[in-house]
Structure 1
Amino acid sequence: MEVIHIYHTNDLHSHFEHWPRIHHFLQERKKWHEQAGEEFLLFDLGDHADRSHPLTEATHGNVNVELLNKAGYHAVTIGNNEGITFPHEDLEHLYDHRLFEVLLANLYQENGTRPSWVKANAIYETKKGMKVAVTGLTACYPHLYQLMGWKVTDPYEELKSQLEELKGISDITILLSHLGIHDDEQIAREFPEMDVIIGGHTHHILHKGKMAGDTMLACAGKYGMFVGHICLTIDPEEKKIVEKKAWLYDTNELQPMIDEVQQVEEWFNSGKEMLSTEIISKHYVHTSQDELASLLCNALREICGADCAFINKGLILENLVPGIVTKFDLHRICPHPINPCVVELTGAELKEVLLQTMDEKWSDMQIMGFGFRGKIMGEMVYSGIQPTRKKSYSLLTVQGKPIESEQKYTVAIPDMFTFGKFFPAIFRAEQKEYILPDFMRHLLAWKIRETEKQAAD
């Protein structure tokens, strides 16, 4: 029998806290398996890079590629954090110095050609001649990818095409999926010839994998909390898998490195130093969280050219120290990879949404995901809207005028509000315009500069 060991990580999101021990663990395991004459493959399933970390931001993700190189990864696929939070030029060159394959079947340039740094699939041949075919797919957000200058296609159609291409030339088929658990399960049902689907995106934890028919599903949570391990036992004469097993290793239980705390601090401080070289303002004074939230909301409405805007105060994590404001300062207080969005609502819909924003629940509501990197949603802040705590339709105004139920209004919001969890009328709205690639902190930087310029005049 031949044994193939596959190790995998996913959705690190630049949480480097455990990376030194993950790196050491993977290096040790590679040595073990090579000494035993066993096959070793190492994959990452995307969202390794997250611009909420200062060093990822400062290096345009290149530090993440460097870490993957040093750990000896064979291949990765990308997640939405690489695909739609990095500007086109940054993603185009993110993998220039990679020592691994980027496997991604459903991403194209706008003209329909594959990017030079992408391969639709790769085949790894074992010592006994078994051919392991690997392809990759990422979550399909066609409109957002289009705004970033890319074309992303239907993952099911691409997978069907890949399986046709690989038929007869591979013995084992593996999918690197950044689609999420529900799609992984659906693919296992629709494509039973798939041997292994290694997943990400929805941060699910499968401690011993999960069998869906004859397909093994695997995923290792998020933030480097686990490292995944899949063991395939192969009958090389029959050229088939006779056993599939999977485990997760809790990184809290892995051997800590002597200098790992220092290393993690160095990564953070290096990013801080690089971002601190760009000065946004030399003597800014409006530095409280309330002032900054109001400033950001005004900037959102002005840049989007909307009738009104609202944001959650929790987007601003801390106060600023009066005086010099750097790019790092704004990254520290507003680290979220959240874009502006303009949604069109009728007056009746806007009234419904505004009354919902005045609910006291927001002040202490804990939020995770949707691009939000804080903890508490916080109460709402408005621009161009006269709010009322009396929850009366008649008292709501936009730019000083009562809201007309049949009239159409453009409302600028953080794009996280377009998800169904928050405001049903916004989720249902047909007209949504996402403003990419700028994040909320970029709007805040623009407004601070504008405010300082006006004060100087």
Structure 2
Amino acid sequence: MIETIHIYHTNDVHSHFENWPKIRLLLQQRQQMHNINGESVFLFDIGDHVDRWHPFSEGTLGKGNITLLNEAGYDAVTIGNNEGITLPHEALNTLYENAQFDVILANLFNEQQLRPNWVQPYKVYTTKNGVKIGVVAVTAPFTKLYELLGWTISEPLEELGKQLRELNKHVDVIVVLSHLGIHDDRKIAKLFPEVDVILGGHTHHVLLDGEYVNQSILAAAGKYGRYVGYVELAIDLEAKKAVNKSALLFETSQLPAPSGEMNEIQQYNIEGKRLLSTKLVNLPETLTTDWFTESPLAQLLCEAINEWCGADCAFLNAGLVLDHLQRGTVTKFDIHRILPHPINPCLITLTGEQLHDILRATLDPKWINMELKGLGFRGRIMGKFIYHDIRFDQQQIYIKNRPLQLDHIYKLGTIDMYTFGHFFPHIHEAEKQYFMPEFLRDVLAWKLQNVYPASKRCTSL
């Protein structure tokens, strides 16, 4: 006798709520259909559902996302790096306090090396016919960043191996929720033959019909809620093992829209704006920005980063600042609108020779129109590089109006984005100090309140 198990999964929604009403309707309808048919159905999210680029997620510090997951009827979720390292410690520690689903994650611990009380390394679910499904989860190990926020993250594949050795004793089917990326998912399938299903995310890969690696089926649904994943397992009830596995994706744009869809999407923005309506400062003048040349607002942000980090000099790309700040009252929403990125300030220690090479590289015109996605960047293009206490004069570079000394040690203030990618190899390899949990928008708000103290600001950060 065969039991069919139905699994629906999402990953890397990144608070793209424009797709959420359709996703919720599909999931609710499918759950209802399978329940009427007496079939077992499970819903999982693989992390990065929260993204603070959206004002609703910023205003609720992610708790609004949890309400949406509750409404859709999820059984379990794991966390991605956007939940893990873009929220302050206490915000993550309380994020799931009203969750009506399980939070599964094997490789997150607090500073006492204990798992927080809101998470479990694995969970065993039992189907209507008694099949035991073990669900275990791991997330990407941004070790240093987790430590700065008061967490410890262990090596995911090693931790997964520990949990599987225990889980194997009690279950018939094993499902891994993996916020590690496609390459590690393939590695899991090769290292652990007992794993039946790997539901993936992090690298935003799209597996239209799944991918078979050895005995495992890999499934993933891209990004931004553009797809919803579906895995079907056929279980031989005598052998208690999967005899057939298949996967497909539902394209969200082709799904029916619920009534009131556009109004609901708009309401998320309206509520976010309301939650971020706190007044920060009154500007006596409009601060403009320009992606292609120097501008007051980008220059002010660069100066703010330099001060915040205690640096000798600073630079950043103008494309970070998405719009002007208009004269008059500036709210948290206004700052969030122009700097939605979950990007932190960073201090880099470099030799003069390394700094010289980096600064010369920033002059390459290729950067200005370069389109960029990921690494925390939520804009469109890089734009021109903007500098503070850095000056170019023909072949000479000046730091604080003094010629750059190749054998000197310098402290460069910049953004963490440059340390994750391969923009500048010297930065990637250098000693770094990350400033967390503050984002660029927090630093700009702090600077504005210092530059315009007579504005009688209404609140502090």
Is TM (by shorter chain) over 0.5?
yes
Runs of 4+ aligned structure 1 residues displaced above 6 Å come to none
Q: Would the aligned equivalents of 1:284 and 1:324 in 2 still touch at CA under 8 Å?
A: no
Summarize the alignment of residues 57-68 of structure 1 with structure 2, pairs less than 5 Å apart: 57-68=58-69
In the other structure, the counterpart of 2:309 is 304
In the other structure, the counterpart of 2:440 is 440
The CA deviation at 1:454 is 7.1
Q: Would the aligned equivalents of 2:286 and 2:326 in 1 still touch at CA under 8 Å?
A: no
CA distance in 2, matches of 1:332, 1:284: 20
Summarize the alignment of residues 156-171 of structure 1 with structure 2, pairs less than 5 Å apart: 156-171=157-172
Matched, 1:414 2:419: no
Match for 1:331: what amino acid? H
Name the SS for the 2:437 alignment partner. Answer: coil
CA distance in 2, matches of 1:164, 1:64: 33
Summarize the alignment of residues 316-335 of structure 1 with structure 2, pairs less than 5 Å apart: 316-335=321-340
Q: Would the aligned equivalents of 2:286 and 2:324 in 1 still touch at CA under 8 Å?
A: no
CA distance in 2, matches of 1:187, 1:200: 14
Q: Would the aligned equivalents of 1:86 and 1:437 in 2 still touch at CA under 8 Å?
A: yes
Q: Which residue among 336, 341, 358 is the counterpart of 2:341?
A: 336
Name the SS for the 1:266 alignment partner. Answer: helix
Give percent identity, aligned residues only: 49
Normalising by structure 2, we get a TM-score of: 0.96
In the other structure, the counterpart of 1:280 is 280
Gaps of 5+ in 1: none
CA distance in 2, matches of 1:11, 1:5: 21
Match for 1:140: what amino acid? P
CA distance in 2, matches of 1:352, 1:164: 49
User: Paired residues, what number?
Assistant: 450
Match for 1:25: what amino acid? L
1:362–1:283 Cα change, 3 Å: same
CA distance in 1, matches of 2:223, 2:391: 41
CA distance in 1, matches of 2:412, 2:422: 18
In the other structure, the counterpart of 2:367 is 362
Summarize the alignment of residues 73-152 of structure 1 with structure 2, pairs less than 5 Å apart: 73-152=74-153
The CA deviation at 1:292 is 0.9
In the other structure, the counterpart of 1:380 is 385
Q: Would the aligned equivalents of 1:216 and 1:244 in 2 still touch at CA under 8 Å?
A: yes
CA distance in 1, matches of 2:339, 2:378: 8
Name the SS for the 1:364 alignment partner. Answer: coil
In the other structure, the counterpart of 1:314 is 319
Match for 1:299: what amino acid? A
CA distance in 2, matches of 1:425, 1:282: 40
Structure 1 residues 128-137 or 27-36, which shifts more?
A: 27-36
In the other structure, the counterpart of 1:233 is 234
The CA deviation at 1:180 is 0.5
CA distance in 2, matches of 1:163, 1:326: 49
Q: Would the aligned equivalents of 1:203 and 1:220 in 2 still touch at CA under 8 Å?
A: yes
CA distance in 2, matches of 1:433, 1:272: 32
Match for 1:119: what amino acid? Q
Match for 2:311: what amino acid? A
The CA deviation string for residues 388-436 of structure 1, in whole angstroms up to 9 with x for no partner, is: 5x4x2xx20100111111111010111101134311111121x111111
Matched, 1:398 2:399: yes
Q: Would the aligned equivalents of 1:145 and 1:151 in 2 still touch at CA under 8 Å?
A: yes
Matched, 1:352 2:357: yes
Summarize the alignment of residues 187-266 of structure 1 with structure 2, pairs less than 5 Å apart: 187-266=188-267
Q: Would the aligned equivalents of 2:5 and 2:41 in 1 still touch at CA under 8 Å?
A: yes
Root-mean-square deviation over aligned CA pairs:
1.1
Name the SS for the 1:297 alignment partner. Answer: helix
Name the SS for the 1:92 alignment partner. Answer: helix
CA distance in 1, matches of 2:422, 2:264: 38
The CA deviation at 1:455 is 8.4
Name the SS for the 2:368 alignment partner. Answer: helix
Match for 2:444: what amino acid? L
